[in-house]
């Protein structure tokens, strides 16, 4: 049943099926693996006198009056008030006039919803309504909260998942029993059911541990298989170090750091060695990875071959292309770069493809379109991907298949401790650039409480008056992507009132269409937008040297490694840059954030992040979006990642091909996993 379309689930028609597709859910399997983003815990009712704003809570009390419906233009607002002896709170519902038949004065009911402060008074907005008995039945349970899209709410998704779970046949267990017993892992069917509908936190953690182990275990097996396929292959491209590249390097207005020289030497040695290079460069934001990539691409070009550079976003691809074009013109480099992106017109693509096929272009810069589109290369000898953590196993293998096994270089600014990097990139050799270029001004950091906001706004105003720009990052306030977008919109409105009309405030969030995002990022890069209010989608994909302020709201809700990535969006130009982290959390959060305050070293921060994260810390903002993991987080779940890696090695030592009868189900699951990696690439 798992591979059937989602419309085969009872109650899902064509229209709902299309809405599910927007969430990336086309099949029943994808539905069952569309895990909740969080869980709503139905805690016991709270006395009205103890309610706090900006929290979700339940209150039990007596209605002081009948429900009243008031109309404001097209909106019907139903209002009432509940009292419980410790105080009373207003209740508000929008466009639900039928509720006045339920809301009768003197009724004892339980209301559960978000508490907000309106002026001096507290109001509960859109609360659910229960009889005391009905709420008692729900109390203590955990209800799943899914990422949603317009027209497809949480209740519908939960109901559809429940329907699919009850209609499916039980899957055969694919993990060898000894691995399950040794690591105290739940049975697969149990885990799948209870990740969606746990009856307690303990049960949720038990289910989650199994599914996280599966994700890591299959990933590590896939990486090992990839490495095996690559071993002992000869390269069709032996690239000798070229004097033209050395001359260009000497002409640059700065000297490479010893760390850059060492890494470039390793790349030259790989490319001249007769075997296909598969190397990862890890370097902090601003450590100078891009110039290393340019030198490697020129090395390929001066050897008579082509090289390609793949960026995670169109904006970044265009920036790479433009800066490369300027650099080559300034230093008399005759090699020709060409840009290929998905949004180019058919005519532009045709012209670019022709230049590539006839070798009028030496260096091809683009998004993943350069491996997906019908691009014919003339002896593609080197492929470089920027921001490797956006590309998974499938992409790595796809790159290796392009153009008769070219050399592959992947670059990442995500600081991952070496112990984890060796597991995650087991198919790659690792180089680290651990020095910053001379003269780069370190970012000045401060961690402050919410009361400091007005000063932060004044500081941003001053920077904008001096011609600079700023980012303001908002986290998800709720577990719903719809609310994430609204939060950014609301915050931008607030800033527009704070700042003079001459200051353009833009917004960016994950629910925007690709074209809209691209337009906003380009406008920010051109300084047509001075203050960009965004979710973490800016973490990768735009280089704005003129941006000098990064202000992060609710900084306590992010992992340290992710905060460091966000901070790396500033400090890219000649002006002093600043990172303001607003800590709205508990006392303990200050200690964590103080690590960022003290250090700009991403690798130190990543290792500290690892020490501070506890297993089971799963209810905050998802931290690391790495690879192709749906549930797993390489920092929170680092211990599980290490265990999965050890178990994979132990298993492959005994059964390298997974050909033993007891591993048959695992082999099938791994094949499906690899196939799925390719499906997502449309290859």
Tell me how far CA of residue 258 lies from CA of 76, 435, 601, 602, in angstroms.
Answer: 68, 8, 17, 19
Q: Which residues of the chain carry a pLDDT beneath 70? A: 1-2, 232, 372-373, 387-396, 398-403, 476-486, 539-541, 585-589, 613-628, 677-683
Nearest CA to 657 out of 667, 647, 648 is that of 667
Tokens 């954030």 sit at which residue? Answer: 593
Write down the pLDDT at residue 609: 75
CATH number for 43-139 (one of 3.40.228.10, 3.40.50.300, 2.40.50.140, 1.20.1050.10): it is 2.40.50.140
Write down the pLDDT at residue 117: 82
CATH number for 243-433 (one of 2.60.40.10, 3.40.50.300, 3.30.590.10, 1.10.3720.10): it is 3.40.50.300
Write down the pLDDT at residue 261: 95
- What is the C-alpha to C-alpha distance for residues 495 and 348, in angstroms, rounded to an integer? 40
**Phi, psi dihedral angles at 528 (to 5 degrees):** -85, -20
CA dihedral (203, 205, 206, 212) in degrees, to 10, reads: 140
> What string of DSSP letters covers 415-457?
---HHHHHHHTTTSEEEEE--PPTTPPPPEEEEE-GGGHHHHH
- DSSP class of residue 149 equals B
The yes/no answer on whether domain 444-599 falls in CATH 3.40.50.300 is yes
- What is the C-alpha to C-alpha distance for residues 254 and 438, in angstroms, rounded to an integer? 9
Domain ranges for the chain, please list them: 1-39+155-169, 43-139, 243-433, 444-599
Q: Give the containing element (helix H, strand E) for 671.
A: helix 664-681
- What is the C-alpha to C-alpha distance for residues 134 and 127, in angstroms, rounded to an integer? 15
- Exposure string of 537-569, with b = 16+ CB inside 10 Å and e = fewer, is bbbbbbebebbbbbbbbbbbbbbbbbbbbbbbb
Q: In what order do the strands lie in the sheet with 469-473?
A: 444-448, 578-582, 547-552, 469-473, 531-534, 505-508
Q: Roughly how many angstroms between the first and final C-alpha of the chain, as a whole number?
A: 25
Instruction: Dig out the tokens for 11 from the structure.
Output: 């109650």
Backbone torsion region of residue 85, taken as left when φ is above 0, otherwise alpha when ψ lies between -120 and 50, otherwise beta: left
Residue 336 contacts residue 360 (beta carbons within 8 Å): yes
Q: Do domains 43-139 and 444-599 have the same CATH topology?
A: no
pTM of this structure? 0.73
Write down the pLDDT at residue 390: 54
Mean pLDDT (the chain, rounded): 86
- For residue range 582-594, what is the model confidence (pLDDT) as tens digits? 887 655 567 778 8
Query: What radius of gyration do the chain's Cα atoms show?
Result: 27
């Amino acid at each position: 049943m798992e591979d059937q379309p989602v419309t085969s689930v009872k109650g899902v028609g064509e229209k709902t099926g299309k809405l599910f597709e927007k969430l990336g859910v086309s099949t029943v399997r994808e539905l069952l693996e569309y895990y909740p983003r969080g869980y709503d815990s139905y805690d016991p009712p709270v006395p009205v006198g103890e309610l706090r704003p900006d929290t979700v809570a339940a209150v039990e009390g007596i209605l002081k009056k009948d429900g009243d419906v008031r109309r404001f233009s097209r909106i019907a607002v139903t209002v009432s008030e509940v009292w419980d002896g410790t105080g009373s709170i207003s209740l508000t519902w929008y466009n639900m006039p039928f509720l006045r038949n339920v809301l009768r004065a003197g009724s004892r009911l339980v209301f559960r919803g978000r508490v907000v402060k309106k002026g001096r008074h507290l109001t509960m907005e859109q609360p659910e309504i229960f009889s005391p008995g009905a709420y008692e039945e729900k109390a203590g349970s955990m209800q799943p909260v899914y990422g949603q899209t317009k027209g497809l709410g949480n209740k519908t998704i939960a109901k559809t998942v429940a329907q699919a779970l009850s209609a499916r046949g039980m899957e055969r267990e694919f993990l060898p029993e000894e691995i399950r017993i040794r690591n105290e892992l739940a049975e697969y069917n149990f885990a799948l059911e209870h990740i969606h509908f746990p009856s307690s936190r303990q049960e949720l953690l038990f289910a989650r541990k199994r599914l996280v182990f599966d994700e890591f275990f299959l990933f590590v097996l896939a990486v090992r298989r990839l490495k095996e396929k690559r071993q002992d292959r000869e390269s069709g491209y032996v690239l000798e170090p070229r004097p033209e590249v050395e001359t260009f390097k000497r002409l640059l207005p700065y000297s490479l750091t010893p760390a850059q020289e060492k890494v470039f030497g390793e790349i030259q040695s790989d490319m001249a060695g007769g075997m296909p290079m598969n190397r990862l460069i890890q370097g902090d934001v601003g450590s100078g990875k891009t110039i290393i990539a340019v030198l490697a691409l020129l090395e390929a070009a001066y050897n008579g071959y082509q090289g390609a550079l793949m960026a995670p976003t169109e904006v970044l691809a265009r920036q790479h292309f433009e800066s490369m074009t300027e650099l080559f013109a300034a230093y008399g480099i005759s090699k020709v770069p060409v840009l290929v992106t998905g949004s180019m017109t058919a005519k532009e693509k045709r012209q670019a493809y022709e230049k590539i096929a006839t070798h009028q272009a030496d260096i091809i810069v683009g998004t993943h379109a350069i491996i997906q589109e019908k691009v014919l290369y003339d002896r593609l000898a080197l492929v470089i991907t920027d921001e490797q953590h956006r590309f998974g196993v499938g992409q790595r293998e796809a790159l290796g298949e392009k153009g008769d096994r070219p050399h592959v270089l992947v670059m990442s600014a995500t600081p991952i401790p070496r112990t984890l990097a060796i597991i995650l990139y087991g198919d790659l050799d690792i180089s680290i650039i651990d020095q910053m270029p001379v003269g780069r001004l370190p970012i000045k950091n401060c961690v402050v409480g919410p009361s400091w906001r007005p000063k932060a706004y004044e500081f941003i105003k001053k920077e904008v008056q001096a011609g600079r720009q700023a980012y303001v990052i908002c986290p998800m306030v709720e577990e719903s992507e719809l609310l994430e977008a609204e939060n950014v919109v609301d915050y931008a409105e607030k800033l527009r009132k704070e700042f003079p009309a001459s200051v353009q405030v833009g917004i960016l969030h994950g629910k925007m269409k690709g074209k809209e995002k691209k337009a906003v990022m380009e406008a920010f890069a051109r300084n047509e937008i001075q203050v960009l209010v965004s979710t973490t989608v800016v973490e990768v994909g735009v280089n704005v040297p003129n941006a000098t302020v990064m202000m992060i709201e609710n900084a306590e809700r992010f992992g340290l490694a992710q905060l460091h990535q966000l901070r790396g969006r500033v400090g890219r130009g000649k002006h002093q840059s600043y990172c303001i982290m607003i800590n709205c959390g508990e006392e303990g959060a200050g200690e964590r954030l103080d690590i960022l305050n003290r250090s700009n070293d991403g690798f130190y921060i990543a290792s500290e992040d690892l020490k501070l994260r506890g297993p089971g810390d799963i209810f905050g903002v998802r931290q690391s979006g790495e690879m192709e993991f749906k549930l797993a987080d390489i920092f929170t779940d680092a211990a599980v990642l290490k265990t999965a890696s050890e178990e994979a090695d132990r298993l492959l030592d005994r059964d390298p091909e997974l050909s033993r009868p007891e591993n048959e189900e695992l082999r099938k699951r791994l094949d499906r996993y690899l196939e799925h990696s390719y499906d997502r690439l449309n290859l």
